[in-house]
Amino acid sequence: MKKRNVAIIAHVDHGKTTLVDEILKTSGMFRENEDVSNVTMDSNAIEKERGITILAKTTAIDYKDYRINILDTPGHADFGGEVERIMNMVDGVLLVVDAYEGPMPQTRFVLKKALEAGAKPIVVINKVDKPSARCEQVVDEILDLFIELGADEEQLEFKVVYASALNGTCSLDADLSTQKEGFHPLLDLIIDEIPAPKGDKDAPLQFQPALLDYNDFVGRIGIGRVHNGTIRVGQMVNCIRLDGTHKQFRIQKLFGFLGMKRLEIESAEAGDIVAVAGLADISVGETICNANDNLPLPLLRIDEPTLQMTFGVNTSPFVGKDGKFLTARQLEDRLYKETQRDVSLKVQPNDSESWIVSGRGELHLGILIENMRREGFELQVSKPKVILKEENGIKMEPYEDLQIETPEASVGTVIEQLGSRGAIMENMTNIGDQVRLQYTIPSRGLIGFMTDFMTITKGYGIINHTFKEYRPYENIEIGERKLGVLVSSDTGKSTAYAIGGLEDRGVMFIEPGIEVYEGMIVGECNRENDLAVNVVKGKQLTNMRAAGSDKTVVLKRPRPIPLEYALDYINNDELVEVTPHNIRLRKRILNTEQRKKIDARK
């Protein structure tokens, strides 16, 4: 059977996964009476809720006489390392671009990786049914981006498909009236335009995992492409490790992909994308070859982590009320298990009850925490910090490309906020009644900015950022919260009477009837200093009655604290306590008197 290997790449939310789902439906992978309303490549609960792809997914379809292997890639900058490695598995890419937004920062990043790997591009202009679609200008912008990224002549001759993945229609013409049901024009283009995989099935075996999966029965599973030769179940093979050492093992299982299923297969040959099980600690970028061969493939680059947090055992007075997994051993096992599947994550012991966990960004680490709390873990985490590195004796910090779209009314405030966070403006353009700002900003300047940004733009702003480079570290205070907090001085249940008396001191995070402990943060102070407050105090009851003394307390609604907000919000002397049903903010030192003494010393 002839083969084509293609990856779908795009900026966040431009419609990659929806497009893959529609291609699966067009290819006839489902029975006529099968329910396809909920078919989606995003299988994880968080992926479905947030509508984002976290881990790259592999699928394949049979179309005409071809097996087309399709890789759906993540769009978020935090998971960009996956995109880079996938380019070694494919010969072409579908670059999906929103018909209104046009190329965005992550479009530039993924396209750059594809062009560097020499992949043949096909451009898919998606969401053409939007009233605000501007197809022709967007195609021009994409051409400019190709030229800017140094595409060769062949890559510049890209074919364009106009589609609405949501409606399941596409066409080769920008005219909306030519849109037809199904994705046959796109699949025909893949067959005609994307080259067949290189490689010789009769040559000695070379297989390289670019992605990892984990399974409790067989351990790590390496997903990659067979570059040369043939691989069979039961075959003795040689694994050339990243450090150059060799390890022989037997192939226990081979999996192929078709539609939404992973199928056990007996053998695979050059050009096939398969999953290999048999070596418990197989790693990305290693080469598997015949037992007596030594033919390593070039190593794959794995993006270094740029952000780290401390994960620790929950030490709050409410420990054990909510979760099943509380001990240091359980937490450590879970973190190391995550590193089996996620090569961008690094875990180092900090002390006997905490670990330094390094990842690609706030979203990357936030999703790990969210997964752990859903599994029943209790833990406490610190404020994220960027990872500094030293080059030639100079301290370097990561910088990012930042692109913002905001309504004109809030531009002034956004510029002012970014100025105080060390950002340098590169460009400013008007698109209709929106303003697009481009900045270079230290990564630490983005910590805690998301929350402020959404408030300033009243939720209408769009923000995107992607790692740019390391630059010399500038010793300026960036990213600490300006306002103080209201900290509970007592343990008990909060009362409406106590909260009502504190409302003029700031914004509350809790409502009446919530269990609180000493040292827990219950609100934001409207001044710069922290304030210890009693939120459990009840009303003194007397047998005297007076007109007006029994009026009902009407409280303002408390500010909700989701996980991402909490991680952004805290300062260095604070922690987030995460349990399956609660997210609480707390001070590192819970005792009010001890805290006051330390603050006085400062």
pLDDT on residue 600 = 82
Alpha carbon distances (Å) from 503 to 452, 496, 512, 528, 558: 21, 11, 13, 16, 10
What pLDDT score was predicted for residue 43? 53
Please report the sign of the dihedral spanned by the C-alpha atoms of residue 455, residue 460, residue 466, residue 469: negative
Q: Please, which pLDDT band fits residue 40 given cuts at 50, 70 and 90?
A: very low
Last residue of one domain, picked from the residues 441, 472, 503:
472
Instruction: Establish if 113 belongs to a structural domain.
Output: yes
Residue 92 has a pLDDT of 92
- Whether residue 396 is found in the same domain as residue 381: no
239/212 same-domain check? yes
Q: Which amino acid is at 287?
A: T
Task: Collapse the DSSP code of 508 into the 3-class scheme (helix H, G, I; strand E, B; otherwise coil) and give the result.
Answer: strand
For residue 575, what is the domain's CATH number? 2.40.50.250
Residues 158 and 127 in one domain: yes
Q: Higher model confidence: residue 601 or residue 572?
A: 572
User: Do residues 382 and 393 share a domain?
Assistant: no
- Work out the pLDDT band at 33, boundaries 50, 70, 90: very low
The residue type found at 359 is: G
Please, are residues 207 and 287 in contact by the beta-carbon 8 Å criterion?
yes
pLDDT at 34 over 80: no
Provide the domain count of the chain. Answer: 5
Q: Residue 523: what pLDDT?
A: 95
pLDDT-based confidence at 95, cuts 50/70/90? very high
- A 10 A CB-CB count for 53 gives 25
Question: Is 296 inside a domain boundary?
Answer: no
pLDDT of 123 higher than 80: yes
Q: State the pLDDT confidence band at 77, using cuts at 50, 70 and 90.
A: low
Mean pLDDT value of segment 388-404:
89
Rounded average pLDDT over 268-283? 89
Q: Tell me: do 101 and 150 sit in the same domain.
A: yes
Whether residue 295 lies inside any domain: the answer is no
Q: Is 298 within a domain?
A: no
For the chain, the C-alpha Rg in angstroms (whole number) is 27
Residue 174 shares a structural domain with residue 88 = yes
**Residues 119 and 160 grouped into a single domain:** yes
Domain end point (choices 364, 386, 408)? 386
The pLDDT value given to residue 486: 95
Residues 468 and 506 both lie in one domain:
no
- Averaged pLDDT of the chain: 86
Do 180 and 22 touch, CB atoms closer than 8 A? no
Instruction: Kindly state the helix (H) or strand (E) to which residue 328 belongs, with its residue range.
Output: helix 328-341
Q: How confident is the model at residue 485 (pLDDT cuts 50, 70, 90)?
A: very high
Residues 265 and 337 in one domain: no
Mean pLDDT computed over 299-303: 76
358 and 345: one domain? yes
pLDDT tens-digit map of 101-119: 888 877 887 888 888 888 8
User: Is there a domain that residue 505 lies in?
Assistant: yes
pLDDT of residue 37: 46
Cβ-Cβ contacts under 8 Å for 187 (sequence gap 6 or more): 23, 26, 27, 63, 68
CATH code for position 444:
3.30.70.240
Q: What integer pLDDT is reported at residue 80 of this predicted model?
A: 67
Q: What is the CATH number of the domain that holds 279?
A: 2.40.30.10
**Angle ∠(483,489,494) on CA atoms, nearest 5:** 95
Cβ neighbours around 26 below 10 Å, total:
18
Q: What is the pLDDT of residues 493-536, one digit of tens each?
A: 999 999 999 989 999 999 999 999 999 999 999 998 899 999 99
Residue type, 78: D
pLDDT of residue 267: 92
Is 199 a member of any domain? no
Rounded Cα gap, residues 102 and 172, in angstroms: 18
pLDDT category at 54 given cuts 50, 70, 90 is: low
Instruction: Quickly state the pLDDT bin for 5 (edges 50, 70, 90).
Output: very high
Proportion of the chain above pLDDT 70, given as a percent: 92
- Looking up residue 346, the CATH number of its domain turns out to be 3.30.70.870
Q: Are residues 46 and 182 in the same domain?
A: yes
pLDDT for residue 279: 86
Predicted pLDDT at 464: 79
Q: Nearest CA to 110 among 63, 66, 65, 53?
A: 53
For residue 14, name the pLDDT band (cuts at 50, 70, 90). Answer: confident
> How many CB atoms are closer than 10 A to CB 597?
10
Q: How far apart are CA 469 and CA 399, in angstroms?
A: 5
SS3 240: strand
Identify whether residues 495 and 421 lie together within a single domain: no
Q: Rounded CA gap, 216 and 397, in Å?
A: 38
Asked whether 58 and 7 are in contact (CB, 8 A), the reply is no
pLDDT confidence of residue 551: 60
Burial of 425 (0-12, 13-18, 19+ CB in 10 A): middle
Domain boundary among 193, 218, 242: 193
> What CATH number is associated with residue 135?
3.40.50.300
Give pLDDT, residue 36.
Answer: 45
pLDDT value of residue 463: 83
pLDDT number for residue 284: 86
pTM (whole model) above 0.75: yes
pLDDT at 38: 46
Q: Which helix (H) or strand (E) holds 15?
A: none
Domain that holds residue 248: 206-290
**Would residue 301 count as lying in a domain?**
no
Q: Give the pLDDT confidence score for residue 216 in this predicted structure.
A: 76
